[in-house]
Structure 1
Amino acid sequence: MRWRWISLLALCFVLPLHAADLSVDTGHGAHIWTTAQLLSRPDVQNVTIPIDVAFRRTMQYRAVPLAALLSGLEHGERLQFVANDGFSVDLTADAILNHAGAKAWLAIEDPAHPWPALPDNKGDAGPYYVVWTHPAAAGISTEQWPYQLARIQRTQDAATRFPATAPDASLPANSPVRQGYMVFQRTCFACHTLNGQGDAHMGPDLNIPHSPTEYLSDDMLRAFIRNPQSLRRWPEAKMFGFPTQESLSDTDLNALLAYLHYMAQHKAGL
């Protein structure tokens, strides 16, 4: 039996600990990519990210253009990015296929050269991480940089998939509540559910049993969204916050609060 334990111990040093598979399905069947396959692609290159969202400093990656992995993707479609830690975010095909400046890349963690740990004890970013060059050109928010990525799949819009999260259709198109719903999808839905609906499982539901607007003043809620540590000092917290106008403008923040106030009056099943 001893030789078996020695063999298993040897494998721990031989096998790449961070190698993993990535499932990609744009509606034409899933394609499974391994770390080795991605790193051996002819279009893999070194990419420098001056202000990396997850690491909060300049980072260099081996990466491939994300659009190159999404065969058959068309403008107007949506993709869901699912991470191993329960994070889930939707991205539009228009943002990914944008050629006006912003460009999405799939960063691949090389098992021989693993990435450093994330700051503030937030774990690892690997094995795959969507990063952006010139993100402002497409209005890419901090929540649209999913790391610990495991799966990319075609999906429908949030209102179709999760109708209990959508404002009533009778609201005018220019309603702050409607704008707030769009902001919610971009900034909150990646980690939270609402009215019991959504794919993410990192944070609590934002409407049941209580909306945060029911136990926090608007000023406190604004401060919390900007900097979660302003309400509770918790080094293990996963929420990054939206401290700048570039990450979340005051107009969008006010619209988000309008949406949360509205949904507090429209709880699922109540």
Structure 2
Amino acid sequence: MDGDHLRAFLLIGAMLFGTPLFAAQLNLQLGASTRTWQTEELLKHPQVQTINISNDVSYKRDMRYQAVPLAALLTGVKPEDHLQAVALDGFAAELAAAPLLNKHGAQAWLAIEEPGKPWPALSANKPSAGPFYLVWTDPQAGNISPEQWPFQVASIKRMAPVAERFPALLPDPALKVDDPVNQGFALFQKNCLACHRLNGAGDAQFGPDLNIPYNPTEYFGADFLKRYIRDPQSLRHWPQAKMPGFSEEVLPAADLDKLVAYLQHMAGRKTQP
């Protein structure tokens, strides 16, 4: 069942049986620590507070939420760990743990949609960002990408690093560690892997594979590919488009060059799923 249908199902159930609207649960699988949090429990958490988010990534305007510092929920997680936030629609955000544990600068929060007080719809005929939404205060301080704002979150899991789980994503091992292609691979994990697979590798169920059957560098000139990444709707406009644009602030020109270099490199390293 996709996010829209689940949302409709919950709404009908609430209307029929008088249950609170959109009460939900968040499943945390953190290795030795596993816990399921209910909406009501999170709203009573001792660290819950009202936070204001300027220019919210998903709503494109200022928003106010009831939220808990995400670090307060990540029991036993260490800065070197790797996490994955999975949304109701299959979006799978790969997240380094260290930024999520910050208590200063860019700070991660779990925003909680209150039963009976649903957030606005993300767009016409779409649900809200709830029931749980990972938001950031002072995101500029940590160079936080839009892909690090997953909404409709259903679970957060501690996972092995991407390179270990998906070797088909790896560049040529002969490259130096600081080669721009390897730096581009890190940027791909941060900005692209939440929605896309490559060589069939990845957990996302959202966007197309970026190497099979063709890599975008094989049908886009480099300049047009960069324009597409900056503003997808400027080259391909359709109402249901979901890919966000990556501004210069989020993905500086030098980083965009490295990301495209990784994609070009992987066009020569195709492996069938």
TM-score norm. by structure 2 comes to 0.92
1:249 aligns with 2:245: no
1:87 aligns with 2:91: yes
CA apart distance, 1:124: 2.2
Structure 2 counterpart of 1:259, one-letter code = Y
Q: Which moved more, 1:116-125 or 1:99-108?
A: 116-125
Provide the secondary structure at the position in 2 that maps to 1:119.
coil
Work out which of the residue numbers 18, 26, 33 in structure 1 matches 2:30: 26
**Partners in 2 of 1:77 and 1:52 — Cα distance?**
27
Work out which of the residue numbers 149, 167, 170 in structure 2 matches 1:166: 170
Counterpart for residue 267 of structure 1: 270
Evaluate the alpha carbon distance shift between residue 167 and residue 78 of structure 1 in structure 2; reply closer, same or farther with a 3 A threshold.
Answer: same
Counterpart for residue 212 of structure 2: 208
Say how many residue pairs are matched. 262
Counterpart for residue 196 of structure 1: 200
1:132 aligns with 2:147: no
Highest Rg: 1 or 2? 1
Structure 2 counterpart of 1:124, one-letter code = S
1:96 aligns with 2:103: no
Q: CA contact under 8 A between 2:229 and 2:245: conserved in structure 1? A: yes
Q: CA contact under 8 A between 1:75 and 1:93: conserved in structure 2? A: yes
**Partners in 2 of 1:37 and 1:258 — Cα distance?**
46
CA apart distance, 1:13: 5.7
Provide the secondary structure at the position in 1 that maps to 2:188.
helix
Provide the secondary structure at the position in 1 that maps to 2:237.
coil
1:119 aligns with 2:127: no
* Deviation >4 Å, runs of 4+: 8-11
Q: CA contact under 8 A between 1:121 and 1:235: conserved in structure 2? A: no
CA apart distance, 1:27: 0.9
Counterpart for residue 39 of structure 2: 35
Work out which of the residue numbers 229, 234, 237 in structure 2 matches 1:230: 234
Residue identity over aligned pairs, in percent, reads 53
For structure 2, list consecutive stretches of 5 or more residues without a partner in the other structure: 1-11
CA apart distance, 1:100: 3.6
CA apart distance, 1:155: 0.7
Structure 2 counterpart of 1:201, one-letter code = Q
Structure 1 counterpart of 2:26, one-letter code = L
Counterpart for residue 53 of structure 1: 57
Written as runs of structure 1 = structure 2, the 5 A alignment for 1:70-81 is 70-81=74-85
1:184 aligns with 2:192: no
Q: CA contact under 8 A between 1:78 and 1:155: conserved in structure 2? A: yes
RMSD: 1.7
**Partners in 1 of 2:94 and 2:22 — Cα distance?**
25
Provide the secondary structure at the position in 2 that maps to 1:168.
coil
**Partners in 2 of 1:120 and 1:234 — Cα distance?**
14
Q: CA contact under 8 A between 1:129 and 1:146: conserved in structure 2? A: yes
Structure 2 counterpart of 1:219, one-letter code = D
Counterpart for residue 4 of structure 2: none
Work out which of the residue numbers 117, 136, 141 in structure 1 matches 2:145: 141
**Partners in 2 of 1:235 and 1:121 — Cα distance?**
12
Evaluate the alpha carbon distance shift between residue 42 and residue 99 of structure 1 in structure 2; reply closer, same or farther with a 3 A threshold.
Answer: closer
